[in-house]
Amino acid sequence: MFQWDARALEILNTLERAGHQAVLVGGCVRDALLGREPHDYDAAVSAPPEEILAACRSKFKCIPTGLAHGTVTVVHSGLPVEVTAFRKEGTYSDHRHPDRVAYTSRLEEDLARRDFTVNAMAWGRSGLTDPFGGQADLAAGVIRCVGEPDRRFQEDALRVLRGLRLAAQLDFRLEGETAAAIRRNTPLLSYVAWERIQAEFLRLLCCPGAERILLDFPETVCQIVPELTPAVGFDQKNPHHCYDVYTHSVKALGRVRPEPALRLAALLHDAGKPACFSLDGQGVGHFYGHEGESARLAEQAAARLRLDKGTGAGGHAGGPPRAADRGHSQSGPPLAPAAGTRPLFRPAGAGAGGRHGLRPPARPGARPLRASRNDGPGDSGPKTLPHLEGAGGERPGRPGRRPVRPRRGPGAEPPSGSGGGGGPAQRPVRPPPPAEP
């Protein structure tokens, strides 16, 4: 039924040979039940960290990553497995970490402290252990807290965002009490470091169910990006927009590639609209200058989220939010596309077609388009070949250009001075300049 990495199983076997109960837990069990290959492995064992080290250090590389919380990272042939002692926890004064940890010999007590039922399952020699119905919730597509939801989120406030990210990642729905508790406990995110919020939030933006989750939980999004608060429910009063500003922005996010910088830029590209709103005499809404205000707000949000200045997305490839917002209405200098990418549109020069002065990019390998030499403010009418190349006349446009020779068809007489005989025409010889006195 399960296809585990043999290296992870060898670590479990080593712990069991030392006399301990050892199981795989958390996301790797969840993914295996979903038929997906696990990429990260976590294990739990009925032994304190000192005994984990004693059992494994002679055979594997051991890193004491969290001894205070009972965790040792055991590395076997390049595969890291986080091995944590069975434990039960007390109070969480800082809404992030337990004030104290007590080890236990019972697996069920260890699973009871976990966040969501789909993460509170274990697999070992005796098979699957699932005391909270995680397998049934997986089958139903539900994210549900283990035990009392408010308590789970008050213990570790990052679970508020992790729950949304997990629902978006698996494209599951949040169980009613769990969803209500997320909304009630959203303000607790103020206890979480911005670096941790950034990591979860950018992952959420790129998940398959991101659009649905962002529309369902605007209060949590605005706790992280308060620049979007005025956009929620803001009626654009414009016949070209059927959504409020926030909904429009989230819909735009859902239509770009799932890359952190692109999706964050899409989410923030109209953040400045409410501050720039005006009504004309017909009651139609306009947002003059909103692209500049949106860029300012995007930079403000990027600084709070500790984003990488070179990429705007915490080290991920892509342009910073300000660049994407500036390109929204082409109010700034042209933007260079990211390396290896082709722009969707490129700015066109004077006389270019299109309502917004934008020309689609040329297909790979196509000959570039050249503007007609007689394009100018006074031109009118179609630019046909006879119009451009009159019989022996000058090509209209720049003054002082050399005249264009008329084309010679079959049977045409050679021009004077050509030497006849059908050979190539010769240029007339200029007379020598007059001698100076």
CA-angle at 132, arms to 131 and 138, nearest 5°: 115
Query: What are the average pLDDT values for consecutive 10-residue runs of the chain, which has 437 residues?
Result: 90 97 97 94 97 96 91 97 93 82 94 97 96 98 97 96 98 98 98 96 98 98 98 96 97 97 97 96 96 96 87 44 48 39 36 36 46 40 37 44 54 46 51 55
* Helix pair angle (194-205, 158-170), 10° resolution: 20
The full DSSP string for 13-69 is: HHHHHTT--EEEETHHHHHHHTT----SEEEEESS-HHHHHHHHTTTSEEEEEEGGG
Q: Where is 213: in which H helix or E strand?
A: helix 210-216
Residue 296's φ and ψ, nearest 5 degrees, are: -65, -45
Q: Where is 346: in which H helix or E strand?
A: strand 346-347
The predicted structure's pLDDT at residue 366: 46
Instruction: Sheet containing 127-129: give its strands across.
Output: 61-66, 71-76, 79-85, 41-45, 22-25, 122-124, 127-129
Dist CA 282 CA 358 (whole Å)? 28
Q: By percentage, how much of the chain surpasses pLDDT 70?
A: 70
Contact by Cβ (8 Å): 124, 21: yes
Q: DSSP state, 106?
A: -
The predicted structure's pLDDT at residue 89: 81
Q: 173-174 and 142-143 as β-strands: parallel, antiparallel, unpaired?
A: parallel
Torsion angle of the four alpha carbons 298, 302, 303, 309, in this order, in degrees rounded to the nearest 10: -110
Q: Which of 408, 380, 413 is nearest to 396 (CA)?
A: 380
The predicted structure's pLDDT at residue 69: 86
The predicted structure's pLDDT at residue 317: 36
| Strand partners for 44 | 23, 84
Six token digits for residue 233: 């429910």
| Strand partners for 81 | 41, 74
Dist CA 245 CA 237 (whole Å)? 10
Tally of CA atoms within 13 A in the half-sphere of 238 that contains its CB: 16
The predicted structure's pLDDT at residue 98: 77
Residue 263's φ and ψ, nearest 5 degrees, are: -70, -35
The predicted structure's pLDDT at residue 430: 58
The predicted structure's pLDDT at residue 332: 38
Contact by Cβ (8 Å): 217, 211: no
Q: Which of 307, 311, 278 is nearest to 293 (CA)?
A: 278
Q: Where is 84: in which H helix or E strand?
A: strand 79-85
